[in-house]
Amino acid sequence: MKNQKRDLTTGPIHKKLINLTLPMMIGIMSMVAFNLIDTYFVGQLGSLQLAALSFTFPVILVLFSIVQGLGIGATALISRSIGKGDRNKAARETTDSLVLAVVIAGVFIVIGLLTVEPTFRLLGASDEILPYVTEYMTIWYFTLFFVIIPFVGNSAIRSTGDARTPSMIMVFAVIINAILDPLLIFGYGPFPELGLQGAAIATAISRAMTMVLSLWVLYHREKLIVTKIPSWDVLSGCWKAILYIGIPSGLSKMIVPITTGVVTALLAEHGEFVVAGYGVATRVEFLAMSILFALSASIGPFTGQNYGAGEVGRITKGVNYSNVFSVCWGLLLAAILFLLNEPIASIFTKDPEVISATGLYLKIVSFSFGFQGIVQIVNSNINTLNKPLVASLIVFIQMIVIGLPTLYLLNDLKGVNGIYLGIAVMYLCGGLLSVWFNQRIMKNIHLKPSLV
């Protein structure tokens, strides 16, 4: 029998989404808090170190995009199997997705370590900042094993309808990181003073602990890890199914940090304080939008279970409810951030130029946050419906076709203000495109129920 609390195919839709979203919001806020804590303590080292951390953000986002792609693919497969009531298939898919995660992590660790200097020079890091970037990333790359395995593992746990356990695991990581950051960065007590390197080591330790917890839950409680070695046909079949969704999803998510890298390079022309301000502002943005990211993450298991059970109407209603909420929440954020942008920025830095740059971004871009939330919600839905190429097309049009030309044009016309206005236009257009594509896909699925 299905666990009724985790069964997403029956009961009030809004209640199911709320029950998924609230713990996910805590988990995602903890992830954002993880970055904000690093930003806060690194900011005490100086503006150069803070700017160095900002330069690492696009690259880290690229790597997280790969991780997220695997998580999305795993969630789609596992949640559909659970929706169909096939727990054994879900366990096989969970195990095989974790093995795939290990392989991919190893490949990208090697690539990352061999390309540190050319990558960050391309992003515009100066000779003064580059040593700090190298110091941080040389350690951080090794944490990929500890990032990708629990991320995929937590995706599997959420596929069962349990959003609380993964969130608690992420909160635990934040607590450990918050304790270790000041000890290793500033060298309190018996600990050595390691500066930026200390921040990277604190991240590695906290992530390793979450990996252990995630695997323990999957193996002992959920029984979703099997020890039987599969045939190559079974293993490769599962990997192909995950990668069919994961590759386009990961590539589309990589477009976002690549665009962020372009924005960083454009802002670097206007000064290092502007780059530092942008780094702070984007972290505030993630925190402010955490509930929308949580909602979009909820759509994956919700759509998957209902897709597997043939409940297409529930999917349509759930996505529509979510999109309306996203716009309303975005407008509320815009009002708050317009009024309180500089006080918020001053929490992370005392430099008036960095505060001003942070505040400018929040004033201009915040009104479009709700539309970017729609992009996330619709992408989660379409990917889980096994339409990853359509989901990727939305992001490609938003970021590449509309975003990049707009950013370059408005940079030439309006400088920093133009860059930030270009980001807002990009978010707005992406939301409208997403609604249009989602309506067409859901209409086709309603007309062809055999696709479920």
Within-domain flag for 3: no
Total number of domains in the chain: 1
* Half-sphere CA count of 118, side-chain side, radius 13 A: 5
For 120-163, the pLDDT digits (tens) are 888 777 788 888 888 888 888 888 888 888 888 888 898 888 88
Q: How far, rounded to the nearest angstrom, does the alpha carbon of residue 417 sit from its chain's CA centroid?
A: 26
Q: How far is it between the farthest Cα atoms of the chain?
A: 67
pLDDT > 90: what percent of the chain?
24
**Who wins on pLDDT, 44 or 204?**
204
For 354-386, the pLDDT digits (tens) are 888 888 888 888 899 999 999 999 999 998 898
In angstroms, the CA 404 to CA 422 distance is: 8
The residue-averaged pLDDT of 209-223 equals: 91
Put residue 273 in one of left, alpha, beta given phi > 0 → left and psi -120 to 50 → alpha.
alpha
> Structural domain of residue 430, as residue ranges?
13-444
CB 373 within 8 A of CB 289: yes
How does 399-412 read in b/e, with b if 16+ C-beta sit within 10 Å? beebbbebbeebbe
In angstroms, the CA 139 to CA 148 distance is: 16
pLDDT at 449 over 80: no
Within-domain flag for 7: no
Q: Which amino acid is at 50?
A: L
Within-domain flag for 451: no
Per-residue pLDDT at 3: 56
Within-domain flag for 4: no
Within-domain flag for 450: no
Within-domain flag for 285: yes
In angstroms, the CA 148 to CA 93 distance is: 16
Question: Helix 272-288 and helix 232-268: axis angle, to 10°?
Answer: 130
Within-domain flag for 387: yes
Within-domain flag for 251: yes
DSSP state of 12: -
Q: Which amino acid is at 360?
A: L
